[in-house]
Structure 1
Amino acid sequence: MAMTERQVKDDATCCVGNHVHSSQAEDGEVPESARERVNRRWHEILQETRVAQTGVQILFGFLLSVAFTPLFRELGTFDRTVYVLTVILGASATGALIAPVSLHRFLAGQRMKDEVVEAAGRLMMCGMVLLALTIGCTLLLILRIVIPGPLAEALVGGVMLWFGICWYALPLHLRHRAVRRPRNDRD
């Protein structure tokens, strides 16, 4: 079945957020086909997933071991509640960050790589939010034992603000700035 000119043009573009990027060559670069682009995006997601999975798995393993320590029995109701919430968040983060592997396994060979890449990207973002919350709750548990009083909560709030800036505000700022820049100035 022959593709119309519009279908060919649509096939040569990739939506990232609200921005459409053409696979045509710019500044002497070799053009990237739609298949090459989706494969590159998939490999980038796999690399990002490996980094995030390692962190969440180490943290989750630590959290699971805490319940078997002598100090755990001395925790009050609030701290036990925070612990349970932290373990649930850690398990949820682990599930979201490992889900791209399952998606790929179930859908490999179905000619759905674009959909797999899109879903994997969303799961990664969800997993990163859950990971940040897990780290924040873990920090709260530790600091409430080490530094009794409201200073622990203030420090956790500061760290979570820092995560928000590094993980979300900075990338969104850079993306917004890139959109405003003339196309020929972009890398």
Structure 2
Amino acid sequence: MPETDKERYERNFADLLQELRVAQTGVQILFAFLLTLPFSVGFEKVSQFQKDVYVVALLAAAGAAAMLIAPVAYHRMLFQRGRKPELVRSAHRMATGGLAFMLVAMVSAVLLITDFILERWVAWLLSGITAVWFLMLWGLFPLLRRDDRDGPDENPTVG
């Protein structure tokens, strides 16, 4: 029996919440690290460039946390009001925005740390590679697979 629209929205929202749990954990760990960094020994030695990168990373992590947690607050406000389709669409946009902020936060954190311990050109190179890697894994590869029509059991992996 095919699922109803209501069942599909319930399933979509449950799937989205599972995805958000993974992303929230990552951004919370990064945010906690960034919050403690200025209080650690050696932070006073960072350059103005590194302080600027730190602020970008911190604000991007805060933005990611806000957007990845927002669907929970949104759900609380719309709970049992029959607005699950709107909730799923909005939560999808919030999750996408949260991942974009998380990308900026992660790449900025890599730039901050690598610039502190390596030459600046190497830090920029490694940060660029990090950005490309994230964009490929989070954007390009999924987009390339969007039109694939393989069934789930058509080519199973063993091991």
SS in 1 for 2:39: coil
Matched residue, 1:117 = 88
Q: Which runs of 5+ in 1 are unaligned?
A: 1-29
Cα offset, 1:149, TM superposition: 2.9
Which deviations, in whole Å up to 9, do the C-alpha atoms of 1:5-49 show, x marking residues without a partner?
A: xxxxxxxxxxxxxxxxxxxxxxxxx31111110110010011001
Cα offset, 1:69, TM superposition: 1.3
Q: If the length of structure 1 is used for normalisation, what is the TM-score?
A: 0.78
RMSD between aligned residues: 1.2
Which deviations, in whole Å up to 9, do the C-alpha atoms of 1:150-170 show, x marking residues without a partner?
A: 011101101110100000001
Moved over 4 A (4+): none
CA distance in 2, matches of 1:186, 1:68: 52
CA distance in 2, matches of 1:82, 1:156: 12
Q: Which runs of 5+ in 2 are unaligned?
A: 153-159
2:125 paired with 1:163: no
Matched residue, 1:84 = 55
CA distance in 1, matches of 2:58, 2:10: 34
Larger helix proportion, structure 1 or 2? 2
> Which is bigger in relative contact order (C-alpha 8 A, separation at least 6)?
2
Larger strand proportion, structure 1 or 2? 1
Contact 2:37 2:43 in 1 (8 A): yes
Matched residue, 2:22 = 51
Matched residue, 1:71 = 42
Contact 2:50 2:116 in 1 (8 A): no
CA distance in 2, matches of 1:88, 1:159: 19
CA distance in 2, matches of 1:128, 1:37: 24
Return the index of the structure with the highest Cα Rg.
1
